């Protein structure tokens, strides 16, 4: 297996962040009904949730994982554009309507892009090895 191949392993920090983000997303879905947090912040936060859920079990480069999660989110949005819930006859299924969504929006795609960019940036910076600052002594 080369260095760029995904490896299976459990990462507790990613699992914990995913669990926290799940609770936040669920709280937004159940208790928030406004014009910004639910439609936009919720869409931004769903990207790091899915990213961390996957990163809990699969080790892959942040940029590739971010791109994959973004592509998945875009495909779900495209399914909304084509009324997948209606095509499957799931209009009365609240879980399907919540998970798959029912209305396409280009602003959702922007929110997903923001979420993916921020997630990859944060994860990439967190993975960098920490180099302690060296204090150079000068001779007088």
Give the whole-angstrom CA distance, residue 90 versus residue 94: 8
Q: How big is the chain, counted in residues?
A: 140
**Per DSSP, what are the bridge partners of residue 40?**
none
- Report in angstroms the alpha-carbon separations of 39 from 17, 34, 46, 61, 104: 21, 8, 11, 29, 12
Give the whole-angstrom CA distance, residue 53 versus residue 58: 9
CA-nearest of 109, 122, 135, 96 to 46 is 109
Assign 61 to helix, strand or coil: coil
Would you give per-residue pLDDT tens digits along the chain (140 residues)? 456 677 999 999 999 999 999 999 999 988 999 999 998 999 999 999 999 999 999 999 999 999 999 999 999 999 999 999 999 999 999 889 988 888 999 999 999 999 999 999 999 998 877 766 665 555 55
Give the whole-angstrom CA distance, residue 77 versus residue 59: 26
């Amino acid at each position: 297996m080369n260095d760029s191949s995904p490896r299976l392993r459990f990462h507790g920090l990613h699992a914990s962040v995913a669990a926290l983000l799940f609770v936040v997303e669920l709280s937004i879905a159940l208790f928030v009904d406004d014009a910004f947090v639910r439609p936009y912040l919720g869409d931004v936060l769903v990207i790091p949730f899915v990213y961390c859920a996957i990163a809990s079990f699969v080790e892959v480069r942040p940029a590739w994982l971010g791109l994959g999660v973004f592509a998945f989110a875009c495909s779900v949005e495209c399914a909304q554009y084509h009324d997948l819930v209606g095509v499957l006859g799931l209009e009365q299924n609240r879980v399907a309507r919540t998970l798959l969504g029912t209305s396409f929006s280009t602003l959702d795609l922007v929110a997903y892009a923001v979420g993916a960019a921020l997630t990859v940036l944060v994860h990439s910076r967190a993975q960098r090895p920490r180099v302690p600052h060296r204090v150079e002594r000068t001779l007088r």
